[in-house]
Structure 1
Amino acid sequence: MKVECEGNPARVKNVSCYVKAVNWNMGEVNMDCHLTVTVRNPMIRMEILRKDYSNQYQPFLVDVRMDFCNVIQKRSFVPYAVILWKILKQYSNLNHSCPFTGPVRVRNAYLDSNHLPPFPHGFYQFRFTYSDSNSTSSELIGSAKLFLQVMEPIKSKRKTVPKN
């Protein structure tokens, strides 16, 4: 598992992200940034890409744009947007309605297999592009890429000793 993030310097400062390994099967994502300009109407584009035989990431099933304020206010029920909102509400300080300003933190977030439909085994990239839009234009805030592998869980080879 790996994560990459970047921000628009005109809108975001102090962008950092990293993965903390929990065990062989799971890692937790931590992200920080400071919004220098208030985000009034956040739009998120979520893409899922799968690595193919030529080692390139190709589009895989999902490429959706969501008006995040509508998701928060329960006026939009795009399934992947609702899943993203449940995860952000649990692991970040973005647990309130729009607009957003100041520090944004995500701590110890992970993708529970219960949240997503089953994916075929392989390497995937979840790409999130954040923007702030109004009726006439849209301005990039930043992006995050989450690289992960779908596989059978690794089991410990240690034999357990029965206790008497």
Structure 2
Amino acid sequence: MHGLKLYLVTHHWSRGNRVFGSNLSKIPSRTEFTNIVCTSLDKKFCNFEYCHLKSVNRSYKYFSVKMRLLKIPVTKVKINLGLYQRFSGYRPFLYDVTIDACRFLKNETYNPVANYFYELIRDHSNMNHTCPFDHDLIVEKVTTEFMNHRPKNVLPFAKGDYLMEVNWIGYDINRALTKLYFTLS
């Protein structure tokens, strides 16, 4: 399992039986954002005011995205989220899920996989209410430090390069695509 290493630390005798003790020690895992790309597939429906990765210093990076909705209110939204790992190109890894975002935001337990990824942005976003959306969608300053906790402590991933691809589907038409590239080391 990524993030854990087993060390054999002690041998001792107990009532004539040999007992092995062990100590689980965490290996530091680090997330590093490498790129973010946002593409509007329907410029009459939405566009991106900004979509950037900012490096404040060597250890503090974050990404921010602002999607302008041009036909509001939006009352029917689906999200397709795919996770890919790089092996001679990016290949599907664990998840490719499509959810009804309006239904999910009414009940976050509706889809545990979606909830795992939503928790990455929930506190950094204005997408914390159910439909309709009658405003721009904003995700601000999601840091690598915040991301370090998720793949290390909640659901461990192997070291490597990853792509999180999000298709924003409005009224059953794919309207925008967001790609977040990151490395776990």
Common fold by TM > 0.5: yes
Deviation at 1:118, TM superposition (A): 1.1
Task: Please tell me whether residue 120 in structure 1 is matched to residue 158 in structure 2.
Answer: yes
- Structure 1 residue 69 corresponds to structure 2 residue 118: no
Deviation at 1:87, TM superposition (A): 3.2
Could you say what the CA RMSD is over the residues aligned between the two structures, in angstroms?
1.9
Alignment of 1:1-164 (within 5 A): 1-7=34-40, 8-25=42-59, 27-37=61-71, 38-52=73-87, 54=88, 56-74=89-107, 76-110=109-143, 111-116=146-151, 117-133=155-171, 138-151=172-185
More helix by share: 2
CA shift at 1:114, angstroms? 3.1
In the TM superposition, residue 112 of structure 1 has moved relative to its aligned partner by: 2.4
For residues 118 and 142 of structure 2, the distance between their equivalents in structure 1, rounded to whole angstroms, comes to 12
Check whether the contact 2:164–2:179 (CA below 8 A) recurs between aligned residues: yes
Q: What is the percentage of aligned positions where both structures have the same residue?
A: 23
How many Å separate the matches in 1 of 2:105 and 2:150?
18
Residue-pair matches, total: 145
- Tell me the CA shift for residue 33 of structure 1: 2.0
Q: Deviations over 1:65-123 (max 9, x none)?
A: 11111111117532221123333331111222211123222110135233341111111
Aligned-residue offset at 1:13: 3.0
User: Which residue is 1:154 aligned to?
Assistant: none
Gaps of 5+ in 1: 152-164
Give the structure-2-normalised TM-score.
0.71
Q: Can you list the C-alpha shifts for 1:101-153, whole angstroms capped at 9, x where unaligned? A: 232221101352333411111111000001013xxxx11220100000010xx
Q: What SS class does the counterpart of residue 174 from structure 2 fall into?
A: strand
**Contact 1:44–1:131 (CA under 8 A) maintained in structure 2:** yes
Question: Where do 5+ consecutive residues of structure 2 fail to align?
Answer: 1-33
Kept in 1, the 8 Å contact 2:38–2:48? The answer is no
Counterparts of 1:84 and 1:22, CA distance in 2: 24
The one-letter code sitting in structure 2 at the alignment partner of 1:81 is A
Deviations 1:13-60 (A, max 9, x none): 3442001124545521111121011321210011011111x3x11111
Q: For 2:74, give the aligned amino acid.
A: V
What is the alpha-carbon distance in structure 2 between the residues aligned to residue 112 and residue 142 of structure 1? Answer: 23
TM-score of the aligned structures, taking structure 1 as reference length: 0.79
